Every structure is written in structure tokens, then in C-alpha cells.
Amino acid sequence: MATAYVHDTRYMNHKTGWGHPERPERLSSIHRALMSAPYYQKLVSITPVPSDLAPIETIHEPSYIRRVEEEIKSGTAYLDSMDTAVCRESYDIALLAVGGSLALCDAIMSGKAKNGFAAVRPPGHHAEADCAAGFCIFNNIAIAARYLQNHHGVKRVAIVDWDVHHGNGTQHSFERDPSVFYISLHQQPLYPGTGSSSENGIGEGKGYTLNIPMRPGSGDEEYRAAFRDKILPALESFKPEIILVSAGFDAHRSDSISAIQLSTSMFGEFTSMLCGIADTHSKGRIAAFLEGGYHLEALAESVTQMMEVLVSRGE
């Protein structure tokens, strides 16, 4: 088996304007770093195709999808707030981001790869059923989770969100669903303001949301303890058939968007800990999807740390 890598220069056609942190250069920085890595030639390269609407409609309201297309193609500069900057190509690129995410799932479930990373944009975990938010248009990871269930028969999906922001859209997609366990550790207070520890699911989904708010200034020691004491035991109990990762790298100490102080190496350590769970319960299956991370050098180095672990486990 091997490690899959979803990459396409078309993702850079989603233009967010001068000064916006979620900019195309994020992907070129990641790709340069991975191309220079000794394992690059071993990666299973996946060229995405745009998703059709059916998988997206499992998470987003059809009326929202239509509105996104109409507003973007009419030339609007923002969707729903000034955070979500768009250009005329953004709708098509958002479909491509979903398509790349689903292609990664297909590669892993078919056995073409054991694990992998989708370097897609725009990111997704803030997008709600009926609104864009926080740089996100369609919720790539939530759509992927439901796709794995509907198309590959997966019964238990775990989503681990280590982005520095809480994934409000992902939580709201599954908070009533015991078949998808959403785990997030995130700085609080910070945008979007959701994700308190008391938010642990609703109805049948009670107990299948785990929020771990982290204080500003938290670093490697605090995050390592959160994984050891809370996340890993929860995953051991849930026994996921696949682990999906909202792989944001904006908790890095060099990233000015937050006050969390993670070192570069911690992203490899996170990955290694999750691989241990995946090896036991998920046949090693892990799919990571790019979310945040805005300091270009720190982003590239952190992704490289994650990928080194995935490649070593995928062999």
C-alpha cells in the first residue's frame, strides 16, 4: 500500500484578494516542500474531478448550493460574510475541492492507498448546511464522511479536527448522529465561538461530539496531554473504521492567526498517535484534508511532518 496525495494547480484559481490569509500561495508552498521530500516519488498522485451535486446535498441544502453558484457567477466578492472571499471561478473550484476529497476516500477504500492527504482549497469545516463561513464554501470533510457511509458502507467514521478553530459546520452536520464521532481541540476564545466542552451531541448523538477547548498560550505539552488523556481513549472506545482529519496547521507557534504555540514536530506526533488507533481499528485508514495554516513556511514544514508519518505507515 502507499500514501495518496491529491493536488491540482486549479485549486489556486480560487482567488481571495490581496491580504486574505487563505491565499493560493498556501498550496504552492506545500507542493514545493513535498516535491523536494525523499518520499515524493512514492506518493500515489490523484488528479481530482469536480464533484456532482448529490454528495454535496447530503450535507448542504440544495437551495444553498444554488445560491452559491448564482452569487459567485454573478460576480459577488463575498459569500455571507467578508471572511468568505470569492471570485468567478470559486464555485467550480469548490466543486473540485469536494471532488478531490471524495477521490481520496475512493483511493483508500479501494486499497489503492492506505492513507493520504487532500491538499484542497477552499477549506471546509466552518461551512454550515445553508451558509458559508470562515473561508469555507462546502464542508469537504463532512461530505466525505457521509460519502464513505453511503458509497463504501462504512458504519463508524471518526473526524479529528486539530485546526486551531472549532469546526462548527462539521459538528452541526453530525451532532445528532452516533455513527460519526466528531472530535475537536481548538483555541477558545477564538472564531467562531462555538465548541465549548458542554457541546457533546444531541439526542442519539449525545456523547459522539468531543470538544476540547485550549487556552491561549497552550503548546506541545497541553496538546499532547489532550490526545493522551481524552482523544485516544475516546477513539479506542469508538473503534472507527476510518479516521478523517481536519488538518489545519494554524495552531503553529509561527502562525499569527492564533495564540497557540505548537512546534512543527507536533503535527507529526498527532499523526503518529492517530495512526496507532487506525492500525488497531481502521486497517490503517486515515484521510487528511487541508483546512487552515497561513504562515507559509510553517505550513509547508508541518504538512511535511504529517506526510512523513503517513508515508512510513503506508509502506
List residues with catalytic annotation. 126
Cis-peptide into 122, omega within 30 deg: yes
Instruction: For residue 10, give the C-alpha cell.
Output: 486549479
Q: How far apart are CA 226 and CA 177, in angstroms?
A: 24
Length of the chain: 315
